[in-house]
Chain A
Amino acid sequence: MNLSKTIKNGFLILIASLVLTACATKKTTGQLQGDVYTGSDTIEFLASGVPDRVFFATNETVLTTASRETLRKQASWLRKNSDINVVLEGHADERGTREYNLALGERRANSAKDYLMTYGISSNRISTLSYGKERPVDSGSNPLSWSKNRRSVTVKTN
């Protein structure tokens, strides 16, 4: 009886903490969701309604729902403009070692490239270029600035 009660209580605490962590990760503070940038400060447009960049969480290369939506818009624009080629420029924030950040930027650009390819864009039209932490858009030293810098930007090459 005692034991099962303990287990039950433990279980409740576990559920409660799971709910709490879920809240924590989904918490939106201003322009951040988790620590992914959701604002529009730095974004430029490849064409009307086609944002040029997607953002990432710290040390992550996974595309968020919003990023996938942006990339689908880019893919559809690229399908309509089949003469245009692009370079995906991958970037990291300043909170990492230079060499690892170069790799991380490359991985982020490729993460975006893979998604464009699944939406029918030929790999011949997409190249990647990592800048690591070398080209921040925001010079601030705070979580919001860093979130704007963790990005993959699609740039026309012709």
Chain B
Amino acid sequence: MILRYLIIILILLPIKTFALIEVDITRGNLSPLPIAVSPLSIDENSKKNFKDILKKENLGSEISIIVENNLKQSGLFNPINKDSFLQKPDIANLKPRFEDWNLIKAQALITGKVTFVDEKLRVEFRLWDVLAGKEMMALAFTTVPSNWRRVGHIITDKVYERLTGESGYFDTRIIYVAEEGSKTKRIKKLAIMDQDGFNNKFLTLGNELVLTPRFSPTNQMVTYLSYFKNLPRVYLLDVETGMQEVVGDFPGMTYAPRFSPDGKKIIMSFAKDGRSDIYTMDLENRIVERITNHPSIDTSPSYSPDGKFITFNSDRSGYQQIYIMKNNGKNVKRISFGNGLYGTPVWSPRGDLIAFTKLHKGKFYIGVMRTDGTGERLLTENFYQEAPSWSPNGRVLIFYRETKTDSKGEGFTAKLWSIDLTGYNEKMVETETDASDPSWSSLLGN
């Protein structure tokens, strides 16, 4: 009898502790959480000022639309149509009438207020648990008005973090290769955009072929491959200043660059005389270190988040497979043993998984496996897709897909796609032009 009581108490305790709503992101979320994003309230004076500066009629509702769209895109939330809202934004932000929000089946509610203070944009917002009738979070911050889209992303990150228990990925950018022209004479430019496709900017003119840009995990630097003067070399680009310089100036092609987790080194392949080996270059003192030494092709290196290990692609067994080794090149171990060819291993920022591209029986797959090669899980199958890149919280993968051409060799497209680690919420990421080789930045920081 006593034992039975104990068990009941043990079961009740954790439930009571987590009485407020939460979103489980570890499995495919088939019933996204109904959430109401109330337009942020705005006074007439602030409205006028922001309209003058930003040419936006109502900044409060513009920001709420960003939040709403982000939440919807995550696949974990189901934002409720604003037409059904009963309570006005200004009053809701003071004290929501939970019955009204409950009536339209909202389980969570976001309210807020934007004001124009000393030429700055001040935002406060609150997250409410509608069923429990409680405030879950309240935050305020001030920034320059031109940052208004970021405000929407930061709010989303905070809400996501509070409800899922994991850090968000909305205040981030994607660097990618914008593509134009026919398949045989493709013009490629580096481009950058916010994670939601806004603020798109081209960073090169398309005069030379550029490939595989990758964000630094610590700052706004990007490393990529450029065919400037027909010499394929690894370059470094400061996205803020536009300054670029060659870093892989070896007597041969350098390619497949990535940053080390501390952003201080670039790891890349150097191809010469038909073989490719992996090297690192320290960006401060320019010291070059050779990591692999094998007559095979060793490429696509990617560090573990603690920097102690490297995963890479090699055909030393005869075919493309995935390997891991210590960061000094020792203890090389093959980890992919399934049917087919494996490429582009990328270590998850959480450390526990490696995402990859797999080619098997004429189909391309994006998948993940544990770092010892077990637990392989294929997330998506297509005619052609490759090069996954992790969202900074390790929950979402972005990659690119190319289409099969028709019998006349026409109809080629390249587009960015994203998919949840669970294998759900697969969708195309809209871009102005055709696009490939996406790389996700870390959180920009407040």
Contacts and interface: CB of A to CB of B under 8 A. Distances in A.
A73 B273 CA distance: 22
Interface in B142-196: 182-184, 186
A107 B299 CA distance: 13
Given A97-B387, A141-B404, A134 B300 contact: no
A100 B364 CA distance: 14
Contacts of A95: 359, 362, 384
A99 B409 contact: no
A104 B300 CA distance: 13
A98 B437 CA distance: 9
A88 B252 CA distance: 13
B96 to A, nearest CB: 51
Nearest to A134: B209
Given A100-B343, A102-B253, A102-B271, A145 B409 contact: yes
A136 B404 CA distance: 14
A107 B402 contact: no
Contacts of A134: 186, 209, 211
Determine the interface band of chain B, counting residues with CB < 8 A from chain A: 35 or more
B297 A103 contact: yes
Contact of B384 (A94, A129, A131, A137): A94
Given A61-B274, A129-B230, A141-B404, A99 B212 contact: yes
B274 A111 contact: yes
Given A61-B274, A99-B344, A100-B299, A135 B184 contact: yes
Interface string A8-40: 000000000000000000000000000000000
Interface string B296-307: 010110000000
Given A61-B274, A106-B274, A139-B412, A99 B313 contact: yes
The residue in A98, A130, A131 that gathers the most chain B C-beta atoms within 10 A of its C-beta is: A98
A130 B255 CA distance: 11
Given A97-B387, A139-B409, 5 more contacts: A96-B341, A97-B357, A99-B255, A106-B271, A145-B409
B267 interface: no
Nearest to A136: B184
B297 A107 contact: yes
B299 A98 contact: no
Contacts of A104: 297
Contact of B183 (A96, A129, A130, A136): A136
Nearest to B400: A98
B405 A107 contact: no
23 contacts: A94-B402, A95-B359, A96-B343, A96-B359, A97-B320, A99-B313, A100-B299, A100-B300, A102-B232, A102-B299, A106-B274, A110-B274, A111-B274, A114-B274, A130-B232, A130-B253, A134-B186, A137-B184, A138-B184, A139-B405, A140-B405, A141-B405, A145-B409
B402 to A, nearest CB: 7
Contacts of A114: 274
A95 B319 CA distance: 14
A59 interface: yes
Contact of A139 (B212, B276, B410): B410
Contacts of A100: 297, 299-300, 313, 315, 320, 343
A111 B405 CA distance: 30
A29 B183 CA distance: 26
Interface in A97-123: 97-100, 102-104, 106-107, 110-111, 114
Interface string A55-70: 0000101000000000
Contacts of B275: 107
Interface residues of A, number: 29
A103 B359 CA distance: 17
A99 B300 contact: yes
B255 A102 contact: yes
Interface string B240-255: 0000000000001101
B420 interface: no
The residue in B253, B271, B412 that gathers the most chain A C-beta atoms within 10 A of its C-beta is: B271
A106 B209 CA distance: 16
Given A106-B253, A129-B232, A130-B253, A99 B269 contact: yes
B256 interface: yes
Contacts of A130: 232, 253, 271
B386 interface: yes
Interface string B260-292: 000000000101011110000000000000000
A100 B297 CA distance: 8
The 6 closest A-B pairs by CB, nearest first: A110-B274, A97-B343, A139-B409, A139-B183, A103-B297, A141-B404
Contacts of B212: 98-99
B273 A103 contact: no
A50 B409 CA distance: 29
A55 to B, nearest CB: 17
Interface string B45-81: 0000000000000000000000000000000000000
Contacts of A96: 320, 341, 343, 359
A42 to B, nearest CB: 11
B271 A98 contact: no
A150 B273 CA distance: 18
